[in-house]
Amino acid sequence: MEVKNANAAMLSNYEVFKLLTDLKEQRRDAGKSKHSVGQQNLNTIMYETLKYLSKTPCSRQSPEIVKEFLSTMTHHKLTKAEKLQLLNHRPQTAVEIQLMVEESEERLSEEQIEELIQNVADVLPGDPEEEKVAAAADAEMDEGGDQS
Amino acid sequence: MFVLVEMVDTVRIPPWVFDRQLNDAIAEELNKKLANKVVYNVGLCICLYDITKLEDSYIFPGDGASHTKVHFRFVVFHPFLDEILAGKIKYCSQEGVHVTMGFFDDILIPPESLQQPAKFDEAEQVWVWEYETDEGAHDLYMDPGEEIRFRVADEVFVDTSPTGPAAAKTDAPAPPGQSTAPPAEESGEKKEAPYTLVVRTGTICEPGLGLLSWWNS
pLDDT tens, per residue, chain A with 148 residues = 999 999 999 999 999 999 999 999 988 887 766 677 788 999 999 999 999 999 998 999 999 999 999 999 988 888 999 999 999 999 888 888 888 888 888 888 888 889 989 989 898 888 887 777 777 877 877 776 555 5
Instruction: Check residue B116 and give its pLDDT.
Output: 77
Residue B102 distance to chain A (closest CA, Å): 6
Mean pLDDT of chain B: 84
Parallel, antiparallel or unpaired: strands B195-200 and B107-109: parallel
Hey, are the CB atoms on A1 and B7 less than 8 Å from each other? yes
H helices within chain B, ranges in order? 22-34, 212-215
**At A94, which amino acid appears?**
A
Instruction: Check residue B174 and give its pLDDT.
Output: 44
Assess whether pLDDT exceeds 70 at residue B121. Answer: yes
> Is the CB of residue B59 less than 8 Å from the CB of residue B67?
yes
Chain A residues within 8 A (CB-CB) of chain B? Answer: 1-13, 15-16, 19-20, 23, 33, 38-39, 41-42, 44-46, 48-49, 51-52, 56, 81, 85, 88-89, 93, 95-96, 98-100, 102
Assess whether pLDDT exceeds 70 at residue B184. Answer: no
Phi and psi (nearest 5°) for A32?
Answer: -70, -35
**Between A21 and B119, where is the model more confident?**
A21
Query: In whole angstroms, what is the distance from residue A8 CA to residue A20 CA?
Result: 19
Instruction: Check residue B203 and give its pLDDT.
Output: 58
Among all residues of chain B, which has the CA nearest to that of A22? B49
User: How many beta-carbon pairs below 8 A join chains A and B?
Assistant: 111
Among all residues of chain B, which has the CA nearest to that of A1? B9
Non-local (6+) Cβ contacts of A9 within 8 A are B3, B4
Instruction: Check residue A25 and give its pLDDT.
Output: 92
* Among A6, A13, A19, beta carbon nearest to B47: A19
Confidence class of residue B186 from pLDDT cuts 50, 70 and 90?
very low
Hey, are the CB atoms on A3 and B7 less than 8 Å from each other? yes
Instruction: Check residue A148 and give its pLDDT.
Output: 53
Instruction: Check residue A44 and give its pLDDT.
Output: 92
* Among B36, B42, B84, beta carbon nearest to A45: B36
Model's pTM, two decimal places? 0.85
**Between A144 and B114, where is the model more confident?**
B114
Residue A7 distance to chain B (closest CA, Å): 6
Give the other-Cβ count within 10 Å of B87's Cβ: 21
* Among B42, B101, B208, beta carbon nearest to A6: B42
Instruction: Check residue A145 and give its pLDDT.
Output: 58
Hey, are the CB atoms on B5 and A89 less than 8 Å from each other? no
What tens digit of pLDDT does each residue of B191-208 get? 788 898 888 876 554 678
Give mean pLDDT, residues B23-38: 94
Assess whether pLDDT exceeds 60 at residue B103. Answer: yes
The count of residues in chain B is 217
Instruction: Check residue B187 and give its pLDDT.
Output: 44
> Is the CB of residue A134 less than 8 Å from the CB of residue A115?
no
Determine the straight-line distance between the first and last CA of chain B, rounded to whole angstroms: 27
Hey, are the CB atoms on B35 and A48 less than 8 Å from each other? no
> Is the CB of residue A60 less than 8 Å from the CB of residue A125?
yes
Instruction: Check residue B177 and give its pLDDT.
Output: 45
What tens digit of pLDDT does each residue of B40-54 get? 999 999 999 999 999
Confidence class of residue B185 from pLDDT cuts 50, 70 and 90?
very low
Assess whether pLDDT exceeds 80 at residue B166. Answer: no
* Among B5, B37, B209, beta carbon nearest to A8: B5
Strand ranges of the sheet holding B2-13, from the earlier edge strand across to the other edge: A2-11, B2-13, B66-77, B43-59, B38-39
So what's the ipTM on this one?
0.87
Residues of B in contact with A49 (CB under 8 A): 46, 102-103
The continuous run of DSSP H or E covering A139 comes out as helix A128-147
